[in-house]
Amino acid sequence: MIVLGKDIEDKNIFKILVFIWIMSIPFKNAVYQISVITIIVFFLYYLIKFKNFSILFENLKNTKYLFLGFFSIILSMIISNLFNLEYLDNKSWHIIYMFVIRYGLIFVILIYFYKLDFFNKKEIIATVLLSLIFLMFTGIYEIIGNMNVVMSRGILGTLDNRNTFGLFMGMGVVLSLLIVKDYKLIGLVLILMFSFFMIFSFSRSSWVASTSSIFILFILNYKKIKIVHLGYIVIFLTFLITLYFNFDSFQNRFDQLISGYSSNRIEIWMHTIALIKDNFIFGYGIDSWNNLPDSYLVRFPNPHNLFLEILINIGLLGLGIYIFTVMVIIVKIISSKNFILLPVASYFLIVTLFDFSIFTSKELLSFLTIFIFLVYSNDFKKV
């Protein structure tokens, strides 16, 4: 007789599927697409085979406010699209559908199998770190092939955008900070390595977001700071100062950050705000950016700001729903006293104030799905 959630073969299959999914997230390739589909197919197979629908309803009950926020976001997307058919692009409806599948359904699947004890949180965190380390090695390979990347455009690895590479390296910095307590040497080495590649991606949004996360982490743990921690800080600062005075490219990019050079972001924001004023209740619909009545904006991929992107796409209604959902997550972190996740939450929030799309960035949203799973995981007592 097979005990629900305990069958070793099914466990191993699911672990392999999730491993492939997480490892493929940074690369946004066909493997990522196929892994999402196979995870869903396995979930449907297992659900039909054992008919344990009660677990789904119990999980929904434990996350009712989160799902209220999520489905309200989907509803606001649909409403905005219906009110703005003339601005919609070819993928406007597809994005909504995939938003439900890639993030909503995958979250449901993760908490379902977590409750059945198919995997644990350490395995998820370790796999996330492994995927970021693998991406980092593609950056090492790039440097070996062309040392000039650290002096010019910045490190991309196998990606097509340095800000995306910087996003993941900054995420690696923050996650490495969280494991230093249990794995001091490994954590410190990873912090230094991820910091190097984050710096030389020249992604200033990742610099600001990771620095803010580190600051929040120290505030939360100021009573626990010991001499050894001060030693870590000295090592890290020495590392940064050494890089600063030995690489003109780092100096130039840092000086741009300090001087407030926005890389056209302020102009993008001003143009976006002007359009928002004309349609502020429902916005212009999902993926309407390239069809907006402003020729200046089509030169850029998105508004480069979380709040402005929400307003331009789904309006004030959508912004209110997003704020509600974020507050639900923050309150959950605080009420569960899982404060170690606050620096991670701040990283996601701050980095999206300057880069990335909250609707179409598959990499960002997939890792955000994993983060929200970690926030709620303690609510799912394993059977």
Tell me the two tokens of residue 208. 């600001």
Domain count, the chain: 2
Residues 112 and 183 in one domain: no
Same structural domain for residues 146 and 236?
yes
Based on the fold, state whether residues 128 and 250 are members of the same structural domain: yes
Q: Are 298 and 273 in contact (CB under 8 A)?
A: no
Does 341 share its domain with 250?
Answer: no
Choosing from 221, 243, 261, the residue where a domain stops is 261
Check residue 5 and give its pLDDT.
44
Domain identity same for 248 and 297: no
- Helical axes 227-246 vs 184-199, angle rounded to 10°: 30
Report how far apart, in Å, the C-alpha atoms of 112 and of each of 62, 63, 78, 357, 368 are. 12, 12, 27, 28, 18
Please check whether residues 128 and 72 belong to one and the same domain. Answer: no
Same domain flag for 249 and 155: yes
Instruction: Indicate whether 54 and 139 sit together in one domain.
Output: no
Q: What is the pLDDT of residue 382?
A: 62
How far apart CA 245 and CA 331 sit, in angstroms, is: 42
pTM: 0.91
Domain boundary among 261, 295, 322: 261
Q: Give which of 75, 181, 76, 197 is closest to 132, Cα–Cα.
A: 197
Residue 197 sits in the same domain as residue 233: yes
Give me the helix-helix angle, 306-335 and 64-83, nearest 10°: 170
Are 241 and 280 found together in one domain? no
What DSSP letter does each residue of 93-113 carry, written as one string? HHHHHHHIIIIIIHHHHHHHH
Q: Measure the CA angle with vertex 304, ends 365 and 324; round to 5°.
A: 55
Residue 244 structural domain: 121-261
8 Å CB contact between 350 and 209: yes
pLDDT at 236: 82
**Do 95 and 149 fall into the same domain?**
no
Residues 143 and 92 in one domain: no
Radius of gyration of the chain (CA): 21
Query: Going residue by residue through the chain (383 aa), what tens digit of pLDDT does each one get?
Result: 344 445 778 899 999 999 999 999 998 778 999 999 999 999 999 999 988 899 999 999 999 999 999 999 999 999 999 999 999 988 999 999 999 999 999 999 999 999 999 999 999 999 999 999 999 999 999 999 888 888 878 898 888 888 999 999 999 999 998 887 788 888 889 998 999 999 999 899 999 999 999 889 888 877 777 777 778 788 888 888 888 888 888 888 888 888 877 788 899 999 999 999 999 999 999 999 999 988 898 888 889 999 999 999 999 999 999 999 999 999 999 998 888 899 999 999 999 999 889 999 999 999 999 999 999 998 886 65
Final residue in a domain of this structure, among 200, 230, 261: 261
